[in-house]
């Protein structure tokens, strides 16, 4: 059952146990958090008063600042897993202690509890994700963290819907004791994980240094020079500051409207439970199925959706101040923040050079956010004695209007910002995902400027522009390529022809005819391949038959492959004749034609030629052909050729090899010490992008006494952010093998002494020592 689940969710067998424990931990964290949240908000609003919410929020912001500093110090002294376990217990016991004070009618406990619920949620989440980052490497986190997050959302859903039912069963105030039970269970799970995965305890041996906090004044001094020259930073400050001014206002209006609508604690708790439950169901659907829905509008336009929705939400509160406006405001802002605003802001932050991000991100998330929250709460406090909360919408709307202006300024300056970053070579496109690149350049003005840059560029610059335009799916790229290709050298023309799509149309045929030159084999091959990609109705306009008699075998081969589908029986005879020919050039043409024809029946013929080994110079083409035709058991065919004397053969075998088990992984690791630099680089690339990974094999390879292999493995381990747990697993496996070898040696010593027995004992002893 677990294997089927792992296969469905793309979880490797050795990850399933750790994954399930981690999901269970986040499930408890989120379900207990929503339980406390529903209780604390209901009790605060009904027993203390919504009018005190602004001052409590301000105190909470100050408390957060100091608590995060304290937590940073504690994280430097106490291992993460142990600290998380202690915190689970402390949170539960402290809340249970508050439960004991409730009969004493001490009103101050309710604002304290209101602040604690947000503090505990943030601190527990911080420690949990630190622990998760220690357990999973970079490649695993990309694959598993969305699933782990989904487990947390399911916990919130069940916790939300379960709150009203639990309150009826054990009474309202005893929800705090239910919170105690869930947090104690969370502490037990962390303890069990530490025993089951001892690598969590390795941090006991680590001495962590914590950085001292930076004051607001120092942050402003540090960021000042960049602020003067960076339009992007000014826009980001607006996009961060304005939302944090209006968020406290909207939260206050939401709570005030809910408080007015529901007169009793039971009805309010029921509302919070069911409303948040449905809201989390929507979040789960977005997380699992919707993905990024913001890419079609371009980054500046995408950033406009969220503030415009805030305008509608505040107007709804202004004209109809009730629970329905509150529900619309909370639900719509949460959905847009999750699907559009957070991803778009992350991409915008990614425009900064990496050296600046470490300075900009803390300034925005720390200083700017705190100032915004304080101002928003201050505005609420100032207005309380003057007018009804409905009119806070009029106070908030100017800030939202300023927020809307930010994306408009970004839209106007966007092309200049982006082109300056490109020209200064400070934009790292390689580290970005393809979707993010598409979102980044999805603006008409910047696209027009990129097209102009492409049309005026030459050589490598021209190909760089063309590939970028291809990656963002620019309109009419084929027409632009056909315009640009006329003024390029042959090498650039070949690169551009590779980018020409099957939808290039009739215009492409004339351009291809004009470039055709039988005396340039490489260019002719690229022209024939491009023609072959076009639809049959259009490609017939290019006379391919005249190249069947070309002196160059590759031109003839690609011409036959292009005509093959029109008359398979006719051209099959030609290919077969070439394959059986004694002339090496004709056999080469036959192999290429068979490969390009995509006729899988040629797989058996190419296998025969591979085993015949008539000519080493043809082996690279045979291996490429077998790979292109997707023959069965390809790995077993190409593995022997990874150690061939010719570089071209080893490279073709390496390109054809699929890393699907530990043996093929080890074979390619050894190729990082190949005599050919190109093969070394290809081996590293294949290891880095392979879907099959086994970090224990990589760690094992560090014992190979070859510097290039060790350097390459270290680079791979670094890029994959391999964790202590991986090293522990490897060490444990080696110890198990050592003890098994020792037991086998002891068993062999009981046998009658013989030459064979002694050799086997020596062999096992050497394995044990290694």
Place of tokens 């315009």: 483
- Nearest-angstrom CA–CA distance, 97 and 177: 9
- Nearest-angstrom CA–CA distance, 407 and 95: 43
pLDDT-wise least confident of 143-147, 306-310, 422-426, 740-744: 422-426
Give me the chain's average pLDDT, please.
84
CATH superfamily, with its number, for domain 214-442: MFS general substrate transporter like domains (1.20.1250.20)
Share of the chain above pLDDT 90, in %: 28
pLDDT value at residue 654: 92
pLDDT value at residue 762: 86
Query: Cα–Cα distances in Å, from 275 out to 88, 258, 267, 288, 400?
Result: 27, 11, 12, 20, 26
Residue 306 phi/psi, 5-degree rounding, is -65, -50
Helices 231-261 and 299-319 pack at an angle, to 10 degrees, of 30
563-597, pLDDT tens digit by residue? 888 888 888 899 889 888 888 888 888 999 998 88
Share of the chain above pLDDT 70, in %: 89
- Nearest-angstrom CA–CA distance, 620 and 643: 13
User: Bigger pLDDT: 750 or 250?
Assistant: 250
pLDDT value at residue 253: 94
Got the DSSP string for 299-337? HHHHHHHHHHHHHHHHHHHHH--SHHHHHHHHHHHHHHI
Residue 185 phi/psi, 5-degree rounding, is -65, -40
Helices 444-456 and 459-471 pack at an angle, to 10 degrees, of 150
381-419, pLDDT tens digit by residue? 888 888 999 999 999 999 999 999 998 988 888 777 777
Can you tell me the mean pLDDT for 314-330?
A: 94
DSSP-assigned letter for residue 363 = I
User: Bigger pLDDT: 447 or 292?
Assistant: 447
Can you tell me the mean pLDDT for 320-345?
A: 87
pLDDT value at residue 66: 81
235-261, pLDDT tens digit by residue? 889 999 999 999 999 999 999 999 999
pLDDT value at residue 424: 59
459-481 as b/e: b if 16+ CB within 10 A:
eeebbbbbebbeebebeebbebb
Report the length, in residues, of the chain. Answer: 770
- Nearest-angstrom CA–CA distance, 244 and 60: 14
- Nearest-angstrom CA–CA distance, 616 and 472: 42
**Listed residue (439, 506, 510, 501) closest to 476, CA to CA:** 501
The token duo for 769 is 């020592």
DSSP-assigned letter for residue 352 = S
pLDDT value at residue 206: 47
User: Bigger pLDDT: 728 or 130?
Assistant: 130
Q: pLDDT confidence of 207, banded at 50, 70, 90?
A: very low
pLDDT value at residue 291: 47
pTM of the complete model:
0.70
- Nearest-angstrom CA–CA distance, 59 and 267: 28
User: Bigger pLDDT: 432 or 179?
Assistant: 179
Contact 87, 124 (CB under 8 A): yes
> pLDDT at residue 324 above 90?
yes
> pLDDT at residue 181 above 60?
yes
Quickly count: other Cβ atoms within 10 Å of residue 205's Cβ. 8
**Listed residue (132, 154, 390) closest to 256, CA to CA:** 390
Can you tell me the mean pLDDT for 701-710?
A: 85
- Nearest-angstrom CA–CA distance, 410 and 408: 5
Three-state DSSP state, 250: helix
Three-state DSSP state, 347: helix
Can you tell me the mean pLDDT for 645-650?
A: 90
Can you tell me the mean pLDDT for 144-170?
A: 91
> pLDDT at residue 31 above 90?
yes
pLDDT value at residue 204: 44
The token duo for 283 is 């979040």
Q: pLDDT confidence of 201, banded at 50, 70, 90?
A: low
485-534, pLDDT tens digit by residue? 888 888 999 999 998 888 887 888 888 888 888 888 898 989 888 888 88
Domain boundaries 1-206, CATH class? mainly alpha
């Amino acid at each position: 059952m677990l294997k089927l689940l792992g296969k469905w969710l793309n979880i490797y067998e050795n990850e399933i146990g750790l994954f399930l424990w981690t999901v269970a931990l986040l499930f408890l964290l989120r379900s207990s958090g929503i339980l406390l949240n529903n209780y604390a908000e209901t009790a605060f609003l009904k027993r203390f008063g919504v009018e005190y919410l602004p001052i409590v929020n301000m105190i909470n912001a100050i408390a957060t600042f100091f608590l995060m500093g304290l937590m940073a110090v504690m994280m430097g002294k106490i291992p993460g897993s142990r600290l998380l376990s202690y915190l689970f217990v402390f949170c539960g016991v402290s809340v249970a202690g508050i439960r004991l004070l409730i009969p004493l009618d001490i009103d101050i406990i309710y604002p304290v509890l209101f602040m604690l619920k947000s503090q505990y949620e943030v601190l527990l989440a911080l420690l949990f994700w630190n622990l998760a980052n220690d357990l999973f490497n970079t490649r695993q986190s990309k694959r598993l963290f969305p699933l782990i997050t989904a487990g947390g959302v399911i916990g919130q859903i069940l916790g939300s819907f379960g709150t009203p039912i639990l309150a009826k069963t054990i009474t309202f105030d005893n929800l705090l004791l239910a919170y105690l039970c869930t947090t104690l269970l969370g502490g037990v799970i962390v303890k069990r994980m530490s025993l089951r995965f001892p690598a969590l305890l390795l941090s006991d041996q680590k001495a962590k240094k914590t950085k001292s906090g930076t004051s607001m004044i120092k942050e402003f001094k540090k960021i000042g020079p960049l602020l003067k020259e960076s339009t992007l930073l000014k826009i980001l400050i607006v996009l961060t500051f304005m939302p944090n001014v209006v968020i406290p206002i909207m939260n206050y209006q939401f709570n005030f409207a809910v408080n007015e609508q529901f007169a009793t604690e039971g009805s309010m708790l029921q509302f919070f439970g069911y409303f948040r439950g449905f809201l989390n169901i929507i979040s789960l659907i977005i997380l699992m199925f919707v993905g990024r829905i913001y890419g079609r509008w371009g980054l500046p336009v995408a950033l406009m959706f969220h503030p415009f929705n805030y305008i509608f939400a505040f107007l709804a509160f202004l004209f109809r101040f009730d629970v329905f406006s509150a529900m619309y405001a909370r639900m719509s802002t949460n959905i847009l923040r999750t699907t559009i605003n957070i991803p778009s802001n992350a991409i915008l932050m990614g425009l900064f050079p990496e050296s600046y991000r470490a300075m900009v991100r803390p300034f925005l998330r720390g200083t700017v956010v705190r100032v915004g929250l304080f101002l928003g709460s201050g505005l609420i406090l100032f207005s309380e004695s003057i007018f009804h909360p409905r009119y806070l919408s009029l106070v908030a709307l100017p800030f939202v209007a300023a927020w809307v202006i930010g994306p408009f300024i970004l839209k106007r300056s966007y092309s200049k910002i982006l082109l300056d970053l490109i020209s200064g070579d400070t934009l790292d496109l390689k580290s970005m995902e393809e979707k993010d690149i598409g979102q980044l350049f999805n603006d008409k003005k910047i696209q027009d400027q990129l097209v102009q840059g492409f049309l005026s560029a030459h050589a490598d610059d021209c190909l760089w522009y063309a590939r970028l335009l291809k990656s963002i799916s620019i309109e009419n790229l084929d027409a632009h390529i056909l315009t640009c290709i006329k003024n390029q050298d042959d090498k650039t023309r070949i690169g551009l022809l590779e980018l020409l799509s099957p939808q290039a149309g009739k215009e492409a045929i004339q351009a291809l005819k004009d470039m055709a030159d039988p005396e340039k084999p490489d260019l002719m091959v690229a022209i024939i391949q491009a023609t072959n990609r076009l639809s049959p109705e259009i490609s017939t306009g290019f006379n391919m038959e005249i190249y069947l008699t070309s002196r160059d075998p590759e031109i003839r081969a690609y011409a036959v492959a292009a005509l093959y589908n029109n008359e398979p029986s006719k051209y099959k005879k030609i290919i077969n004749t070439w394959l059986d020919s004694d002339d090496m050039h004709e056999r080469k043409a036959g192999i290429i034609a068979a490969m390009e024809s995509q006729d899988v029946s040629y797989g058996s013929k190419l296998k025969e030629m591979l085993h015949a080994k008539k000519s080493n110079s043809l082996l690279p083409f045979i291996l490429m052909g077998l790979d292109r035709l997707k023959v069965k058991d390809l790995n077993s065919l190409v593995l022997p050729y990874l150690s061939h004397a010719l570089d071209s053969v080893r490279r073709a075998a390496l390109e054809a090899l699929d890393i699907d088990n530990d043996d093929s992984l080890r074979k390619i690791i050894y190729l990082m010490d190949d005599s050919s630099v190109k093969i070394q680089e290809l081996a590293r690339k294949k290891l880095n992008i392979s879907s099959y990974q086994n970090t224990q094999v990589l760690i094992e390879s560090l014992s190979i006494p070859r510097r290039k292999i060790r350097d390459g493995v270290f680079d791979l381990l670094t890029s994959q952010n391999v964790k202590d747990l991986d090293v522990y697993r490897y060490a444990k496996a080696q110890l198990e093998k050592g003890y098994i070898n020792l037991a086998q040696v002891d068993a062999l010593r009981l046998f009658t002494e013989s030459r064979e027995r002694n050799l086997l004992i020596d062999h096992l002893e050497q394995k044990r020592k290694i």
